[in-house]
């Protein structure tokens, strides 16, 4: 039997402090640029689908450059929302819910959007939900 002094104490990892409400804790420039590119891509695709006639070389080049800025996971989620017929495929966080289908997001997902990642897929409608506060920085 070990004595209390012989027992090892497990050190706790440093606690993450959340930023002030409304400000992302890790709003790095790369994450902000990805969210901005995602929103711009959705606007470009929505505008292109409304015109349906001539895609144009400048639109194709702009779309390619925006797609190049996105991570594989974000692009996959975006394509999934498009294939599901969600228009727009990217929506802002409204209160604590998705502004596309108006369902309240689980608290952990909402916190991940607000403070950690900036964007995540809605479990109900598959739209990508982003926190607009990340773009206002």
Cα-based distances in Å from 51 to 12, 26, 45, 70, 94: 56, 38, 10, 25, 29
Is the model's pLDDT at 36 over the cut of 80?
Answer: yes
Average model confidence (pLDDT) across the chain: 81
More confident position, 128 or 135: 128
For the entire predicted model, the pTM comes to 0.74
- Domains of the chain, first to last: 29-134 (1.10.287.1490)
Dihedral over alpha carbons 55, 58, 63, 65 (to 10 degrees): 160
- The pLDDT, as a whole number, for residue 14 is 44
């Amino acid at each position: 039997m070990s004595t209390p002094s012989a027992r090892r104490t497990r050190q706790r990892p440093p606690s993450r402090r959340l930023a002030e409400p409304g400000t992302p804790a890790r709003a790095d420039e790369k994450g902000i640029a990805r969210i901005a590119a995602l929103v711009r891509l959705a606007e470009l695709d929505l505008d292109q689908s409304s015109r349906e006639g001539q895609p144009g070389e400048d639109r194709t080049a702009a779309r390619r450059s925006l797609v190049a800025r996105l991570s594989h996971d974000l692009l996959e989620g975006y394509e999934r929302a498009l294939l599901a017929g969600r228009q727009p495929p990217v929506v802002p966080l409204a209160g604590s819910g998705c502004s596309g289908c108006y369902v309240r997001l689980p608290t952990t997902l909402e916190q991940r959007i607000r403070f950690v990642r900036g964007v995540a897929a809605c479990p109900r409608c598959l739209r990508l939900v982003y926190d607009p506060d990340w773009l206002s920085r």
